[in-house]
Chains A and B, each alone.
Chain A
Amino acid sequence: MKKDGTLHKYQRLKTNLKNRKPFLRFLGLFLFLAVGLFPLSLVEANDLDSALRGLGNKSRAKLKVAVKRLGDIGNPAALPALVALKNKRLQVSEDGALIIIDESGDHGHDALSGKQVDIKSLDLSKPRINNSVRRVLSVAIGKIQLTSDDPEVRLGAARELLKRPSSDLVVLVEKSLNEESDDKVREIFFLVLAKEGLNSDDKEKRLQSLEVIAKYGNNDFKTDLEALVDKNEKGEYLENDPEIRKTASKAISSLERRQFFINQAANFFYGLSLGSILLLAALGLAITFGLMGVINMAHGEMLMIGAYSTFVVQNIFKEYLPEFFDWYLIPAIPIAFTVSAVIGIILERTIIRHLYGRPLETLLATWGISLVLIQSIRLIFGAQNVEVANPYYLSGGVEVMNGVVFPYSRIVIIIFVVFVVAAVWALLQKTSLGLQVRAVTQNREMASCMGISTHKVDMYTFGLGSGVAGLGGLALSQIGNVGPELGQLYIVDSFMVVVLGGVGKIVGTVAGALGLGFINKFLEPVAGAVLGKIMVLVIVIVLIQKRPQGLFALKGRMADN
């Protein structure tokens, strides 16, 4: 519904723009005359400075002149001030200096000299801007950006233009199309022109535009295209030309096809991402469950502890090693692992080992542990979520297709998970500790008879499981909120993974986690998040009918008991 609303608004805006064209032209003429009256003898730098200074003008007309002038000069140096003006962060001091306030609102610097200023000591006033100023501003900003040397900036401006068309800039796009070397930018430029071309009087141009849209366009064009094939209340086509209608409906179906693939790709990626996170959360659980037959309800809290460890490491870096801040995640990996592992081992030694052979009681006792841990974290760090920042290399994302962004953080987590799973697998399959763990998992008594110290194996395994959960917490801190209830959010899903995947085999956990991730993400768009979750539960129950011990459980006499 929301989407339709914005589209509707956007349509209205478009018609408004069309109607205003004569007015804009008139305005342009006026501006041209006004600019022409400026002394032309100034050198360009002075020109920029003076134009910038004009932004502090009280009169809106003069303000507009200054903005327009800055757009014409096209110097990127003017960009910060223009953007600040648009976002209402540009203020004017009593002596006419322009101050750009940063986003937090605490600091400011001079727009011309770039010097930091103490904004509290100054008496600042905001230039008053209205919609007409804002429009001029957008054009000026767009102009500077479209002619920028940085293709990313041009791309961003072109995209913005696609969303909010402006005839002035379209002209500019048409001009610079031939000089444009970047393919991506060219693609967007084409779309900008095609969008404009749809409203042309020239049939040939409209058909060409449709073809361009069919080739490169995304779902945002659907409304424009649908308008071409719709009928009015009397059942007459809004568009008279049958050829245009036919091409438009072809374009729609090609858009839809592409969008379908994009959606599936996005679902796949997010399913993979969710699955990998669930895998990290559930892997440790599956290991300890397989080994000891106990469900550790405090396992979610191991995730939380890992996330809070990351938070603490981050703060230490912020405080003492700010120059290496972006690398805090590297030492956080062993630290998160160790902290969770040590806490896990302490719990195993003091509480859980006394409950072997009583799985349901272990479940309750570990639930008690989780309550104590949650409340402790609340008392230490507060009940609110804490902020864990992404280092620069994890912020942003790669755009794989038009409009689908895969965040770097998620991609890195997937890779991270692969490494962790490989490491755990190698540990269990290739080391003597792993051999002992597997022996105890299969037959505790027998292993004990063969001289394996089951106590030690239990302890290390619990440490390993908890440590892996700590790594999960670290990963979660990069894509979600970190709060005392973090563990509770993932625990039910982790259990589902274990139930689905069975115990005793890593491949089961991997399959369970990825399976749940994919099912969740592919169901969500169809059924909604909640119904999706319920359907997942139903699917798990149905699957478990066939394989009560999990899909990949070890079969055998031992597995029954």
Chain B
Amino acid sequence: MDSPGAHIKDDSIDATHGCILYIEGLTVSFDGFKALNNLNLYIDDGELRCIIGPNGAGKTTMMDVITGKTRPDHGTVFFGQSHDLTKMTEYEISHMGIGRKFQKPTVFLNHTVFENLELALHAKKGVWQSLTRSLVGEQRDTIEEGLETIGLKEQKNLRSALLSHGQKQWLEIGMLLVQNPRLLLIDEPVAGMTHQETERTAELLKSLAGKHSVVVVEHEMDFIRSIANRVTVLHEGHVLADGKMEEVQNDPKVIEVYLGS
């Protein structure tokens, strides 16, 4: 039962062509409604990419497919050169080095902040290890470091249900960080955050780029402007426009989608 632990240090992600994620021809339909329609998208290694689009454009569905929650009707999602994510399960994908933050903050409400990070920690995750091993010093340090980064050191023994909405968002991001993934998928990270918190989040995400590839889905335009290098606009399940923020903003197609309907 400890097989998941076996390939924990998976360095075999081959991003030699500069690209970490290849989405090609992806189609997902729900009862006739095409949530994704022949979507093609490439994420560079170490890039920070923002994805925007109106409701129902397929942003969350795309994340679902990447993380293995939803199986596509057609198309492939390659992580590096050789791993087809559409054939893998959620936990395998997580082991490959993809972390995901949900739209609605999803943390373990009945666990303390510390325990939340402990569970997310990059470690062997088999049943037997969980039953017999306790934390070693090095792991404790990683968690403390994470607590520092997300600014929840004071609250580390507080039940996370008692955190504010913004703090939960941070905790979830912290959980991704201690997982140490190659690629982070972040769904609406600043929803419900104060202006200050938003700024700090922007700082954090920017500091992650380079070491990790980061994909952010967001509605909050100011926030995107403050972090984005490159923006992709999704509409009706495929890419409508792609490029620098200013270019995209002035693209007539994009304006029509956002204002026209």
Contacts of A557 in B (CB 8 A): 30, 35, 60-61, 64, 70
**How many residues from B make CB contacts under 8 Å with A?**
9
Give Cα A14 to B61, complex, Å. 78
Contacts of B60 in A (CB 8 A): 557
Give Cα A427 to B70, complex, Å. 33
Q: Which residue of B lies closest to A560 (CB)?
A: B69
Give Cα A83 to B33, complex, Å. 71
The smallest beta-carbon distance between B36 and chain A, in angstroms, is: 12
B31, CB-defined interface residue at 8 Å: yes
Asked if residues A556 and B31 are in contact (CB atoms below 8 Å), the reply is yes
Give Cα A560 to B67, complex, Å. 15
Give Cα A421 to B61, complex, Å. 35
Give Cα A554 to B33, complex, Å. 12
Contacts of B31 in A (CB 8 A): 554-556
Q: Is the interface of B mostly helix, strand, loop or mixed?
A: mixed
Contacts of A554 in B (CB 8 A): 30-31
Q: Looking at chain A, what size class is its interface with the partner chain?
A: under 10
Give Cα A560 to B69, complex, Å. 10
Scan residues 47-61 of chain B and give those whose CB is less than 8 A from a CB of chain A.
Answer: 60-61
Contacts of B33 in A (CB 8 A): 556
Q: Which residue of B lies closest to A561 (CB)?
A: B104
0/1 interface trace, chain A 548-561, chain B, CB 8 Å (1 if under)? 00000011110010
Give Cα A555 to B33, complex, Å. 10
Contacts of A560 in B (CB 8 A): 69
Give Cα A93 to B69, complex, Å. 87
Q: A554, A555, A560: which has the most chain B beta carbons within 10 Å?
A: A555
Contacts of B35 in A (CB 8 A): 556-557
Contacts of B30 in A (CB 8 A): 554-557
Give Cα A556 to B64, complex, Å. 11
Q: Which residue of A lies closest to B64 (CB)?
A: A557
The smallest beta-carbon distance between B21 and chain A, in angstroms, is: 21
0/1 interface trace, chain A 527-561, chain B, CB 8 Å (1 if under)? 00000000000000000000000000011110010
Give Cα A424 to B64, complex, Å. 35
Contacts of A555 in B (CB 8 A): 30-31
Give Cα A140 to B35, complex, Å. 81
- 14 pairs from A and B in contact (CB 8 Å cutoff): A554-B30, A554-B31, A555-B30, A555-B31, A556-B30, A556-B31, A556-B33, A556-B35, A557-B35, A557-B60, A557-B61, A557-B64, A557-B70, A560-B69
**Chain B interface residues (CB < 8 Å from chain A):** 30-31, 33, 35, 60-61, 64, 69-70
**5 nearest CB pairs, A to B:** A556-B30, A555-B30, A555-B31, A554-B31, A557-B61
Q: Give 13 A-B pairs besides A556-B30, A556-B31 with Cβ atoms closer than 8 angstroms.
A: A554-B30, A554-B31, A555-B30, A555-B31, A556-B33, A556-B35, A557-B30, A557-B35, A557-B60, A557-B61, A557-B64, A557-B70, A560-B69
